[in-house]
């Protein structure tokens, strides 16, 4: 089934198409929500909430970008809303940094380790870094999305990078 | 791109995380179902709220019209002989034609509501009364100007009995009086009902549109969130409120008993700016229509030549006034909570000017013409409200808010007027 057929089926509220869309993208989009949310439970809530929006607004998808890009945007926005709706305690879980540290090479770092490092960042740093470095948002878009100044976005990104580099240096895994 | 960024992007952008049992397609479908059900109830309650508001506004309007029409030509002389009302002239049935009256001066009854008694027919038009000089606060019925307002007029030759005055109560006029009092009671009951309603105002904190860099414009809800720094995106708020100030004053005097009520409806347009941390401030324009409707019982004393003593005559008079005020509302809003539905606390100061004042005021010192209130009188009202708002569209939200409003009109002696009005309001907020 092509992407367009999936979209058309979801617009028609075809349950099979909706389920197939879920099966295709749920695991990938869960990674996106995990990067923003404090815990996996919240991330899964966000994922389901995002899919509700996706199904409800499928007719708004015009095909100007890929379906996955469009869905990622929705997951990102839903994640940010989730973060806003909760009072986050920005505690750094240092235990996460020890998960999977068995190699001194960046290349060998698996996604789980990197995820742990991201999770250890304060929520503000993490959101800006995720949006800029991984999702490819501009500082202007981040500023609009998070209701902050562009300068704030830039400074938070710099601090996030510095924190990540410090973590890596602290663990002795830095390389040139 | 910095290498750190690239490493994270390469590792995490397409990474897949296995689902646990909690996140499932069935769960998504269930959420959709619940969402639709919630939307149904919200729509239903919105429609009911709208209908309730329209009904309240209509009743308010009709009450205003009724007050204006009944305030004309309404003075009557109370000849109730039940003894239930304040200062009634009790008529001895056996002396109906002889003009032999007994004064039933029931002082304890002065505290009774003016409209709580029933009236019986009685004819006293041929009574022989002469005026005895009243006390300092008593209306002097020998004063033509004053008498005109009291409903006591000089008699013509056909009914003159030598006293020079005729009491306008005749057979059946008591029934008219009773009807007027009943209307007043209905109005007061109505205003009590309206008074239980209250409110105004709403706000949306964040622009609800997301513009993907290379993607589609997706209408996306972005709820209120206190930003770290002020963001000067204007928010436009329109609201309407109606409230009533209870006013039931029964003077323990033999001269004046007043019962009435004050209501107002208010319309405001305000532009707000987000100051961060959930605080919005702004200013705008407001217009308020205030209406007071009441009933006054005014007693006077005449000398009954047959009884050889003073007889107390009480007349009822419908009173009403209208007051229009243009104001500049200065608003502070504070949002509590997050998401699509918020609780909001609003404080509004409303300095304004009186643009119209007409009718008769209720004051502790009996009645006063609204002429004492100059058109340019300065007013300062303030309102405190707390209510809910719900974001119905990316750029639109509606609110429902109970409120309490303080009204002050310097220069007017509304000593008995309750300055705190409790009401209810609805609002619409736009964020362009």
Could you read off the pLDDT of A15-33 as tens digits, one per residue? 888 888 998 899 889 888 8
Sequence-distant (6+) residues with CB within 8 A of B190 are: B59, B63
pLDDT digit string (tens) for B322-368? 888 899 999 998 877 666 778 888 999 999 888 877 777 655 555 66
Query: Is the Cβ pair A73, B218 closer than 8 Å?
Result: yes
Chain A neighbors of B5, CB-CB under 8 A:
129, 132-134, 161
Q: Read off the pTM.
A: 0.39
If one counts every other C-beta atom within 10 angstroms of the C-beta of residue A99, the result is: 13
Instruction: Supply the DSSP symbol for B404.
Output: E
Least confident stretch, A93-97, A166-170, B3-7: A93-97
3-state secondary structure of B28: helix
- CB contact at 8 A, B55 and B63: no
Confidence class of residue B183 from pLDDT cuts 50, 70 and 90?
low
**Whole-Å CA distances, B71 to A23, A73, B94:** 75, 65, 36
If one counts every other C-beta atom within 10 angstroms of the C-beta of residue B167, the result is: 27
The candidate with the shortest Cα–Cα distance to B11, out of A109, A165, A120, is: A109
Sequence-distant (6+) residues with CB within 8 A of B108 are: none
Alpha helices in B272-383 (DSSP H): none
pLDDT digit string (tens) for B209-247? 444 444 444 445 455 434 445 666 788 888 888 887 765
Nearest to B220 among A15, A77, A109 (CB): A77
Angstrom distance (rounded) from CA B220 to CA B226: 18
* In chain A, residues 108-147 whose CB comes closer than 8 Å to chain B: 109-111, 114-115, 118, 129, 132-134, 136-138, 141, 144-147
- Tell me how close the Cα of B395 comes to any Cα of chain A, in angstroms: 15
- Residue B269 has what pLDDT? 92
- CB contact at 8 A, B90 and B79: no
Q: What is the ipTM of this complex?
A: 0.73
- CB contact at 8 A, B248 and B187: no
Dmax over Cα atoms in chain B, in whole Å? 116
Instruction: Supply the DSSP symbol for B182.
Output: H
């Amino acid at each position: 089934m092509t992407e367009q057929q999936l979209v058309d089926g979801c617009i028609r509220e075809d349950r099979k198409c909706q389920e197939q869309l879920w099966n295709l993208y749920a695991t990938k989009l869960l990674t996106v929500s995990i990067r923003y949310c404090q815990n996996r439970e919240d991330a899964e809530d966000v994922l389901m909430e995002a899919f509700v929006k996706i199904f409800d607004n499928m007719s708004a998808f015009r095909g100007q970008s890929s379906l996955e890009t469009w869905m990622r945007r929705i997951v990102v926005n839903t994640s940010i809303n989730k973060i806003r709706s909760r009072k986050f305690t920005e505690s750094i879980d240092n235990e996460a940094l020890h998960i999977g540290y068995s190699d001194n090479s960046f290349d060998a770092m698996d996604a789980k380790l990197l995820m742990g490092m991201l999770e250890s960042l304060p929520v503000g740093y993490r959101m800006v870094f995720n949006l800029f470095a991984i999702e490819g948002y501009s500082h202007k878009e981040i500023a609009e999305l998070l209701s902050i100044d562009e300068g704030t976005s830039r400074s938070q990104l710099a601090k996030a990078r510095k924190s990540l580099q410090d973590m890596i240096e602290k663990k002795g895994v830095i390389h040139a | 791109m910095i290498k750190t960024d690239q490493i994270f992007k390469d590792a995490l952008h397409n990474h897949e995380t296995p689902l646990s049992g909690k996140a499932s397609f069935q769960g998504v479908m269930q959420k959709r179902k619940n969402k639709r059900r919630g939307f149904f109830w919200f729509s239903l309650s919105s429609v009911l709220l709208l209908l309730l508001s329209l009904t309240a506004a209509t009743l308010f309007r009709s009450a205003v019209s009724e007050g204006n029409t009944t305030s004309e030509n309404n003075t009557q002389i109370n000849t109730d002989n039940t003894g239930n009302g304040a200062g009634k002239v009790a008529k001895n049935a056996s002396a109906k034609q002889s003009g032999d009256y007994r004064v039933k001066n029931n002082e304890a009854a002065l505290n009774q509501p003016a409209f709580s008694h029933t009236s019986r027919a009685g004819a006293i038009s041929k009574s022989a009364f002469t005026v005895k000089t009243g006390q300092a606060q008593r209306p002097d019925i020998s004063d033509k100007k004053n008498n005109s307002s009291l409903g006591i007029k000089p008699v013509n030759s056909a009914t003159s009995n030598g006293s020079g005055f005729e009491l306008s109560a005749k057979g059946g006029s008591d029934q008219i009086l009773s009807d007027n009092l009943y209307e007043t009671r209905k109005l007061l009951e109505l205003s009590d009902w309206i008074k239980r309603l209250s409110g105004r105002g709403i706000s949306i904190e964040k622009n609800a549109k997301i513009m993907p860099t290379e993607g589609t414009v997706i209408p996306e809800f972005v709820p209120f969130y206190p930003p770290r720094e002020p963001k000067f995106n204007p928010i436009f708020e329109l609201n309407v409120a109606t409230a009533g100030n209870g006013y039931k004053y029964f003077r323990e005097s033999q001269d004046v008993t007043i019962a009435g009520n004050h209501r107002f409806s208010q319309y405001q347009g305000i532009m707000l700016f987000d100051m961060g941390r959930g605080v919005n401030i702004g200013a705008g324009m407001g217009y308020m229509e205030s209406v007071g409707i009441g009933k006054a019982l005014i007693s006077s004393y005449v000398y009954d030549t047959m009884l050889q003593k003073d007889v107390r005559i009480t007349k009822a008079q419908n009173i009403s006034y209208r007051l229009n005020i243009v104001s500049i509302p200065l608003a502070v809003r504070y949002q509590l909570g997050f998401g699509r539905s918020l609780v909001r606390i609003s404080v509004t100061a409303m300095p304004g000017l009186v643009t119209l004042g007409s009718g008769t005021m209720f004051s502790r010192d009996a009645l006063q013409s609204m002429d004492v209130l100059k058109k340019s009188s300065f007013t300062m009202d303030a309102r405190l409200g707390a209510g809910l708002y719900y974001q119905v569209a990316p750029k639109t939200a509606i609110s429902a808010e109970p409120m309490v409003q303080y009204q002050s009109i310097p220069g007017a002696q509304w000593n008995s007027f309750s300055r705190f009005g409790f009401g209810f309001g609805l609002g619409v907020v736009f964020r362009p």
